[in-house]
Structure 1
Amino acid sequence: MSAPAVDADLDPARLRSWWAHRQGLDGSLAGAAPAQVLARTGWARSVGGAAPYLGLFARAGSSRAEVDAAVAAEEIHELPSARGCTYVLPAGDFALGLAVGAGAPAGELAAARKHLDVTDAEIETLNAAVLAALETAAAPLDPAALKDAVGEAVRSLGEAGRKRGVSTTLPLALGLLQSAGEIRRVPVNGRLDQQRYGYVRWTPPAAAFAEADVELARRYFAWAAPASLAHFRWFSGFTAARARAALAPLGLLPVAGADLLIPAELADPFADHRRPVEPCYTLLAGIDGVHLLHRELARLVDTADADRPVPGAKAGRVFGSDADPQCHVIVDRGRIVGFWEFDPEAGELVHSLFVPQDAALGAALARTEAFVRDDLGDARGFSLDSPKSRAPKLAALRTAMQEG
């Protein structure tokens, strides 16, 4: 017998408002610790940019010092997890993140065996050498220092390896040891938005779950519901069969009139939710969880905004055609209502708004501008982002400000 469907108003504005509420973008998490925010709203994607800082600031008002202190105390940490991608996780999810991300380095080793003649024996020897070096190190060792420390245990993979993006066997060993929780990567200067790392020995918290796939699904639908099987597959990287098996024990309820599922305990709150009358503006990274948990940008885009030009892109490229925002975004009750970027040379935030700027929006812009300028120094979207590379976007947004 199939589960009864949840009957709820599927108006897009109400749905967006609900997702924003579940993501803590309505002020409900103000003052919460970084680990609490991540446990409630989901893991924060990290690609060497400012996204984790921006997300925690928008939800809880966390300063960079508070976030960095939580990293130093191992209350939160950047780990390879879902799909083998790096996310910032709360301590309670360290073991789970490692478990669901373990397939990626194993797959990289399998490819190296096949194409680069790498053997299990040499990787085992290298693993042991890396662990021995870190056991006696007085400080974190970066890859260059580790390569020196392990000596002949690491091997060049030559031109064939360079073509495949693996110049030596060391990255293979580091990936396997990270996924096993034997070592962890720590930012050299304690910051999440600058990709300079060292490695240390580690013993992560013991796992408190019986089935990693099911636990990932349970957390995902707490963060992102209502969501579809396809949404969960995107986030997890699971095959359709594996994803269905992970969802089976959860007793998720279908949402009437939509290809969406929701946990039973959220069904009534979801049906009863009403979109707030007053706007609630937040400035977020383009890869914030409000978008990336589902990675279906159209959910957050009002029909009237779909044909807006993408700042700095080739003529004819429009917002509604992209899979991901190409700029940081301004969100109001779940709807994307503008783009923004930061110009560190001018020390100012530049933007393009889809709605008139009222006092609340002006305050949100000023608050985030001060946070980025004074706490972060810049708001890079990813590790290779720079004021030079984003110059076309900055120019387009500055023009939009002048015309607006």
Structure 2
Amino acid sequence: MIPLPELLVDNDPMTPEPLTAQTPTANIPPARTLTPDRLRAWAWHKQGLDGSLAGSTAEEVFARAGWARSVGGANPYLTLFARAGIRRDQVDADVLARRILELPAARGCTYVLGREDFAWALKLGKDAAEAIRVLGRLGVDRGEITLLEEQVLHTLTEAGVPLDPRQLKDELGDSVRNLGEEGKKKGATTTLPTALGILQSQGRIRRVPTNGRLDQQRYGYELWNLPASPLADDEVRVELIRRYLGWTGGATLKQSQWFTAFTVAQSKAALAAVGAVEVPTALTDAGGGGLWMLPDDVGRLAVFEEPAEEQIQLLAGTDSLVLLRRNAAELLAEEGPEGEKIDRQVVASLALQADLPDHPILDRGRIIGLWQYEPGEERIVPWLFHGPTPAVIRRIAEVEAWIREDLGDFRAFSLDSPASRQKRIDALAESAAARSAAVGK
């Protein structure tokens, strides 16, 4: 799987005072009842993976479950198929109609999100000032970048069609400065990416997939001129925390900081503004920390009942269920259906990894296996931690058919390829065979 950023180290020099819960204690479920199984099922429900989003539009899915991380992989497509059964042709049509788009948002990372969030989410993008500071150390002043921005806009206006970075560079000629070896060391080969990034963060241009698909990273740029959000920076932070807690059903302070990149002080202010409540869980005493939740969700969790029947899903390793809190270890359990024991070494090995090595197979929020797609054989290669049930076999077949018919392959990120993942495919097949042999003894 694509390596993801390490947890952000907080910039604040001092630990803040604890936030004050505003919900009556009587409404908070007892910590002993908030077991890992119950919390997994609760997050599963909040993510709409229990069938509650069936028939929804892509915009509705992203509003309820959160934005879909896009790194040139197929996660946005599977996010929508798993929750609402939306096929790729509809997703691509929604992108073309600008009902959903891939934009830089939280932490400056790209996500696919609905149109109601475009303007304010862009304000969450990586601060252009940092890129300007890097160029400043290379002898490029702000005026030069401002001029280049205007030239980019003029060039796109004249072209009337999207232009990719190479085409733009050719058209702009000497206006794009090559920053040499020193620039390469600082991640700035030329001045063009900074100008494009600033214009995109302002909504004046946007990236367009060259073939209309989200599971690749070849883009052109076109004029956009999106009206700016009226929200101030602190209001944007409050809105993101509100959405984030709604998407997750609750998260620790550190988990929220990883996703938002807010400082402790900013996080504290945003949590207070939405009236967030810290809810102790069965993991709190073990150092897991309480979950900060929206007040309404505290009451809903108190009466929430875990599903009795299997709910099987195959998701991407960057699905919101896993990525929003980056807590794959908490989604693992040492028991399968009806108390069937799982190899403790398997659980321990996966729990030590910040990110899963493959895509997860889940049942009601619990990881029960891993998978990869092998395009040469047009098949999913699964490794289940326990024996397959009819529901698991059926869902694997459904997702396998969908990948074959809609995508042709399932890439985790832009540089993922059948050759690069073959070792992982072989390892999954070997692990599955070893388990079958052990069960057969």
Are residue 129 (structure 1) and residue 160 (structure 2) matched?
no
Q: Residue 72 of structure 2 aligns with which residue?
A: 48
Out of 33-42 and 197-206, give the one that drifted further: 197-206
Q: Residue 196 of structure 1 aligns with which residue?
A: 218
Render the CA deviation track for 1:149-175: whole Å, top value 9, x for unaligned: 212211000011112222110011111
Match of 2:329 among 280, 295, 298: 298
Q: Residue 314 of structure 1 aligns with which residue?
A: none
Post-superposition offset of 1:110: 1.3
Q: Residue 271 of structure 1 aligns with which residue?
A: 302
Contact 1:307 1:320 in 2 (8 A): no
Render the CA deviation track for 1:172-210: whole Å, top value 9, x for unaligned: 111111111111001000000011100001122552645
Contact 1:340 1:350 in 2 (8 A): yes
Alignment-mate amino acid for residue 433 of structure 2: Q
Match of 2:124 among 95, 100, 104: 100
Match of 2:372 among 296, 317, 341: 341
C-alpha separation in 1, matches of 2:220 and 2:367: 37
Contact 2:21 2:278 in 1 (8 A): no
C-alpha separation in 2, matches of 1:106 and 1:149: 26
Contact 1:106 1:176 in 2 (8 A): no
Q: Residue 138 of structure 1 aligns with which residue?
A: 160
C-alpha separation in 2, matches of 1:286 and 1:307: 22
RMSD across aligned positions (CA): 1.7
Match of 1:81 among 105, 127, 137: 105
C-alpha separation in 2, matches of 1:121 and 1:208: 26
5+ residue gaps, structure 2, are 1-19, 285-289, 336-341, 437-441
Contact 2:58 2:91 in 1 (8 A): yes
Alignment-mate amino acid for residue 381 of structure 1: A
Post-superposition offset of 1:240: 0.8
Contact 1:306 1:318 in 2 (8 A): no
TM-score, normalised relative to structure 1:
0.94
C-alpha separation in 1, matches of 2:126 and 2:427: 41
C-alpha separation in 1, matches of 2:352 and 2:278: 28
Alignment-mate amino acid for residue 153 of structure 2: L
Alignment-mate amino acid for residue 193 of structure 1: D
C-alpha separation in 2, matches of 1:217 and 1:112: 32
C-alpha separation in 2, matches of 1:72 and 1:205: 19
Q: Residue 216 of structure 1 aligns with which residue?
A: 240
Alignment-mate amino acid for residue 113 of structure 1: G
Render the CA deviation track for 1:25-44: whole Å, top value 9, x for unaligned: 10111121111100111011
C-alpha separation in 2, matches of 1:306 and 1:139: 56
Distance 1:186 1:229, change over 3 A: same
Out of 129-138 and 339-348, give the one that drifted further: 129-138
2:111 partner SS: strand
Are residue 32 (structure 1) and residue 46 (structure 2) matched?
no
Distance 1:394 1:245, change over 3 A: same
Q: Residue 420 of structure 2 aligns with which residue?
A: 389
Q: Residue 113 of structure 1 aligns with which residue?
A: 136
Are residue 379 (structure 1) and residue 410 (structure 2) matched?
yes
C-alpha separation in 2, matches of 1:271 and 1:208: 37
1:16 partner SS: helix
Q: Residue 84 of structure 2 aligns with which residue?
A: 60
Match of 2:177 among 155, 158, 178: 155
C-alpha separation in 2, matches of 1:2 and 1:174: 43
**Number of matched pairs:** 396
Q: Residue 3 of structure 2 aligns with which residue?
A: none
1:282 partner SS: strand
Q: Percent identity?
A: 48
C-alpha separation in 2, matches of 1:128 and 1:290: 41
C-alpha separation in 2, matches of 1:69 and 1:212: 29
Out of 361-370 and 265-274, give the one that drifted further: 265-274
Post-superposition offset of 1:307: 4.7
Post-superposition offset of 1:106: 2.5
Are residue 352 (structure 1) and residue 352 (structure 2) matched?
no
Alignment-mate amino acid for residue 402 of structure 1: A
1:165 partner SS: coil
Out of 94-103 and 367-376, give the one that drifted further: 94-103
C-alpha separation in 2, matches of 1:128 and 1:256: 53
Post-superposition offset of 1:225: 2.3
Contact 1:54 1:285 in 2 (8 A): yes
C-alpha separation in 1, matches of 2:343 and 2:63: 32
TM-score, normalised relative to structure 2:
0.87
C-alpha separation in 1, matches of 2:256 and 2:331: 17
C-alpha separation in 2, matches of 1:179 and 1:118: 20
Out of 203-212 and 285-294, give the one that drifted further: 203-212
Q: Residue 14 of structure 1 aligns with which residue?
A: 38
Contact 2:62 2:113 in 1 (8 A): yes
Out of 5-14 and 204-213, give the one that drifted further: 204-213
Out of 94-103 and 77-86, give the one that drifted further: 94-103
Out of 297-306 and 390-399, give the one that drifted further: 297-306
Q: Residue 192 of structure 2 aligns with which residue?
A: 170
